[in-house]
Amino acid sequence: MKKSLFLSILMVAFTLMSCSANNADSESQSSASQKGKTEKMTKVELETSLGKIVVELYNETPQHRDNFIKLVKEGYYDGVLFHRVIKDFMIQTGDGNSKTAGPETSLGDGDPGYTIEAEFVYPKYFHKRGALAAARTGDQVNPERRSSGSQFYIVTGKVYSSDELQMMTKRMNDVKKQDIFRRLITENSAKIDELQNNHDSEGIKTLQNELIQKTEAEAAENPFKMTDEQLNAYTSIGGTPHLDGQYTVFGEVVEGMDVVDKIQNTTTGRLDRPTIDIRIIKAKIVK
C-alpha cells in the first residue's frame, strides 16, 4: 500500500469521525475592551486617486506597525496600485512592482525582500469591515503564516446572518482538526513507514485511532469560537470571518471607508485587477 493511499484512508476515517463528533465549547471569551488604547496609536493617511483613507496602526502588533511606518517614511507606497480588488471581500495593495506596471503585467509578487513574523492578537482584532491586515503566501509554502513585507489589504466583506456564522464556526473547527491531524501524520511518518513495511494492519488501525484521539483532545483545548464582539460586527457592519486567526490584523480604517467602497466597486479584469489604475499617490504619517 503506498503512503498516499494510506494517508487518504486515515483522512477519510478522520473526516467521518469529525462529522459525527460534537464540537467542544470553550469558556466564554471576554469581548474586546479598550485595553491597549491608552497608548496613542499612529495614524497613516493614504492619498489615493479616488480620495483619502486614514488608517490607525495597533500598538499590539509592533513589528507590523514599525515596518509599515518605515515603508511610509521611505516612500515605498507612493505610486503603488491597488492590484487586487474583490467586491464584498477586500482591496489589496503594496506590491512595489506595480508602480510602473503595464496593463497586462501580472502583479502580486512584489515586496521588499523579507517577511514579518505573524502577530495574531486574536480574538481582540479580527476581520471586521475596515480592518487593515497583512497579505501573505499560502500555508503550503508558509506554514508559519509570516506576513508579506509590504503588501496589505483592507477588508470590505459582507454582513452574515447568525445561522451563517454558526455554520462557518463549525466548518472552521473541522478545518482546524484536519490541520492537527495532518501535522500528527507528519510527526509519525517514521512509524507509518514501519507499519507499512511490516504489513501490520492492526498496528495501522491502532495508530489511526490514536491519532484521532490526540486530534480531538488538542482541538478541544482551544476550539474556534467567535466572541460577542465578532458576532455583533459580522451581523451588523460585516467582514470576512473565515480569515480570522490566519492573517495578521494590524490596524483599521478610521476615515475614508467611502473611498474604500469606491475602490471595491470599480470594474476589474484579469486576476481581479482594476481595469483603470487606482493608486496610492502619497502615504504619510499624520497626528
User: For position 36, what pLDDT does the model report?
Assistant: 42
User: For position 39, what pLDDT does the model report?
Assistant: 84
128-133 mean pLDDT: 98
pLDDT at 5 exceeding the cut of 90: no
73-100 mean pLDDT: 98
User: For position 10, what pLDDT does the model report?
Assistant: 52
Closest CA to 34 of 70, 59, 5: 59
Who contacts 233 (Cβ-Cβ below 8 Å, separation ≥6)? Answer: 126, 128, 129, 239
* 33-47, 119-133, 261-275, range with the lowest pLDDT: 33-47
Phi, psi (degrees; rounded to nearest 5) at 128: -75, 165
Closest CA to 151 of 245, 242, 40, 250: 250
Who contacts 287 (Cβ-Cβ below 8 Å, separation ≥6)? Answer: 43
Residue 55's Cβ-count burial label (10 Å; 0-12, 13-18, 19+) is: buried
User: For position 287, what pLDDT does the model report?
Assistant: 75
Find out whether 176 and 224 touch, Cβ atoms under 8 Å: yes
Assign residue 48 a region (left: φ > 0; alpha: ψ between -120 and 50; beta: otherwise).
beta
Grid cell locating 101: 506596471
User: For position 33, what pLDDT does the model report?
Assistant: 38
> Can you tell me the distance from the alpha carbon of 179 to that of 118, in angstroms, rounded to the nearest whole number?
18
Strand order in the sheet with 84-86: 84-86, 90-93, 152-155, 131-134, 249-255, 51-57, 43-48, 280-286
Q: What type of residue sits at position 102? A: G
> Can you tell me the distance from the alpha carbon of 274 to that of 265, in angstroms, rounded to the nearest whole number?
10
Give the pLDDT confidence of 236-283 residue by residue, as tens digits: 999 999 999 999 999 999 999 999 999 999 999 999 999 999 999 999
| Domains of the chain listed by start with CATH number | 43-151+245-286 (2.40.100.10)
Give the pLDDT confidence of 161-198 residue by residue, as tens digits: 999 999 999 999 998 899 899 999 999 999 999 999 99
